[in-house]
Amino acid sequence: MFLEVECNPNFEGSYFLHFQEVGPARIVTHVKYFDRISEGEWCTVTGWCDDPENSLGPASAQPVEDSGAGISFLVYGGNWGIRLKPEPNQGVWDLYDPQQWGEGYLLISDIRDLRFGQ
């Protein structure tokens, strides 16, 4: 699969990457995120795109080959990446909320660090 994320207000970087899929994608609702707190924190995740009327979309986790970890889960969303907020934050998704942040994608090595949707 190819992953393309454009430089945008949600995430300042841009990516065009190729991953070797090893299983089907599933909708993911939460990820355990380790970049802010060393023991990790559960975060709600959504896909983000350039549609001004409806920028939210599903986030998905797809098992892919990862040269450093064997098999990892690629968490991806729309063409503007994914957006995260700590699980206790029940506010609406907002680019200007300082308690939320964007990522182009995440590679999660442990399936226990994902919560899947229905």
* Average pLDDT in the chain: 94
List the domain range (segments joined by +) for residue 64: 2-116
* Cα of 87 vs its chain's centroid, Å: 14
Give the single-character DSSP code of 68.
Answer: T
pLDDT digits (tens, 9 = 90+) for 77-114: 999 999 999 998 889 999 999 999 999 999 999 999 99
Q: What is the mean pLDDT of residues 15-21?
A: 93
Count of beta carbons in the 10 Å neighbourhood of residue 118: 5
Query: In DSSP terms, which residues pair with 61 in a beta bridge?
Result: 26, 75
pTM of the model: 0.94
Report which of 81, 87, 115, 83 is spatially closest to residue 100, judged by C-alpha positions. Answer: 83
Per-residue pLDDT band for 118 (boundaries 50, 70, 90) equals confident
pLDDT digits (tens, 9 = 90+) for 24-52: 999 999 999 998 889 999 999 999 999 98
Per-residue pLDDT band for 66 (boundaries 50, 70, 90) equals confident
Domain count along the chain: 1
Please report the pLDDT score of residue 112 as a whole number: 97
Q: Please state the φ and ψ torsions of residue 91, each to the nearest 5 degrees.
A: -65, 165
What number of H helices and E strands is found in the chain?
0, 11
Q: How far apart are CA 116 and CA 15, in angstroms?
A: 25
